[in-house]
Amino acid sequence: MSTFSFRLEHTDGRARAGRISTPHGEIETPIFMPVGTVGSVKTLSPLELTECGAQIILGNTYHLYLRPGTEVLERFGGLAAFSSWKKPTLTDSGGFQVFSLAGLNKITEEGVSFRSHLDGSPLFLNPETSIKIQESIGADIIMSFDECIPFPSSREYVLKSVDRTARWAERGKAAKTRGDQALFGIVQGGVYEDMRMRSAGQITSIGFDGYSIGGLAVGEEIPRMYEICGYTADLLPRDKPRYLMGVGTPEDLLNCIGLGVDMFDCVMPTRNARNGTLFTSRGRLHIKRLDNALSDEPVDPECGCYTCRNFSRGYLRHLYKAGELLALRLNSLHNAAFYLSLVKNARNAIRKGVFSGFKSEALEKMKIGGLK
């Protein structure tokens, strides 16, 4: 019997606030999921993630399949127990990573043959094996295996891909054996509205616990990404969670929450942190710049994270320029906390019926701040 449910609690225009129940706890939406590719969010401990507001983290099926492997994960009772994460987890299908191995994969109706990026060994992934791996990982929410197409792609190729993704979705659902995991279907279709409608119709007719919007933020212009996101979200069931995969900037989160999206993930906050770029309520801050050397200001005066409560921009710049590992931890902690605080504030604004004003004010402040 499924222990997964979604309750839509508030709407404000197209923006939604709800609650997902899973075997490992509840998730308030809209939510951002920090990415723990190989079972950890880079530089951050589970305690730090909890303290900065994380409710769910994402693990990557492809990478976890290669290392540590399903035997190890099963031995330790799944990813959450293995990593001492006490809250919900989500895994992607592995499709994006496999299809990104351009020149190293071969797509057939049965699945995808490819070579490991680690040692070049031959591997094979299809809807059934993707589900089996994700069942070994034991995430609360798992994804259907889909075809992630490049941008740009012709209408002819998108049509073939959309139909193949639907057939794979049916096979994956049939292969699922665990009742304690929720399975999401993925809507594809590139930047073609009729293809998105076709895919949404196919995937929703199969029936899933939630629905993901895939294949965006892969090179198309940002305004077009928003158009397709909003168009696709409107095609999805009102009573199921909607997950926009791999997106994106703070601006993307706010705009797509306004289009009816409930869940997000992206490597951007931690990857940018490791490169010295910090997200703030006044825009992006490049901590390595010389004008931060004598600054006793926090990264963001409006942020209550551990980094902002205790350290100056000057000290963070010093750590980064000196190559200290602490710089990566403190920067990552701030960026993760900023993203999670942003979606928390969005949730509260939706509940109060003031999301539109909140979004406009937040976006204007980020614009004013600019790049420093």
pLDDT band at 91, cuts 50/70/90?
very high
pLDDT of residue 106: 87
The distance from CA 325 to its chain's CA centroid, rounded to whole angstroms, is 25
Is the confidence at residue 120, as pLDDT, over 90? no
- Give the pLDDT confidence of 336-370 residue by residue, as tens digits: 999 999 999 999 999 999 999 999 999 999 987 76
pLDDT band at 103, cuts 50/70/90?
low
Considering the chain, what percentage of its residues have pLDDT values greater than 70?
98
Residue pointed to by tokens 């290392």: 67
Is the confidence at residue 115, as pLDDT, over 90? no
Is the confidence at residue 1, as pLDDT, over 60? no
Could you list the active site residues?
92, 265
pLDDT of residue 100: 76
The single-letter code of the amino acid at 311 is: F
Is the confidence at residue 371, as pLDDT, over 90? no
- Give the pLDDT confidence of 20-35 residue by residue, as tens digits: 999 999 999 999 999 9
pLDDT of residue 227: 98
**CATH code 3.20.20.105 region(s) in the chain:** 5-266
Is the confidence at residue 300, as pLDDT, over 80? yes
Q: Provide the mean pLDDT of the chain.
A: 96
Tell me, letter by letter, the H, E, C secondary structure of the chain.
Answer: CCCCEEEEEEEECCEEEEEEEECCEEEEECEEECEECCCCCCCCCHHHHHHCCCCCEEECHHHHHHCCCHHHHHHCCCHHHHHCCCCCEEECCCHHHHHHCCCCEEECCCCEEEECCCCCCEEEECHHHHHHHHHHHCCCEEECCCCCCCCCCCHHHHHHHHHHHHHHHHHHHHHCCCCCCEEEEEECCCCCHHHHHHHHHHHHHHCCCEEEECCCCCCCCHHHHHHHHHHHHHHCCCCCCEEECCCCCHHHHHHHHCCCCCEEECCHHHHHHHCCEEEECCEEEECCCHHHCCCCCCCCCCCCCHHHHHCCHHHHHHHHHCCCHHHHHHHHHHHHHHHHHHHHHHHHHHHHCCHHHHHHHHHHHHHHHCCC
Is the confidence at residue 245, as pLDDT, over 90? yes
Is the confidence at residue 81, as pLDDT, over 80? yes
Q: What is the mean pLDDT of residues 129-135?
A: 98
pLDDT of residue 370: 62
pLDDT of residue 344: 98
- Give the pLDDT confidence of 200-243 residue by residue, as tens digits: 999 999 999 999 999 999 999 999 999 999 999 999 999 999 99
CATH class of 5-266: alpha beta
pTM for this entry: 0.97
- Give the pLDDT confidence of 254-297 residue by residue, as tens digits: 999 999 999 999 999 999 999 999 999 999 999 999 999 999 99
Q: What is the mean pLDDT of residues 37-66?
A: 96
pLDDT of residue 116: 86
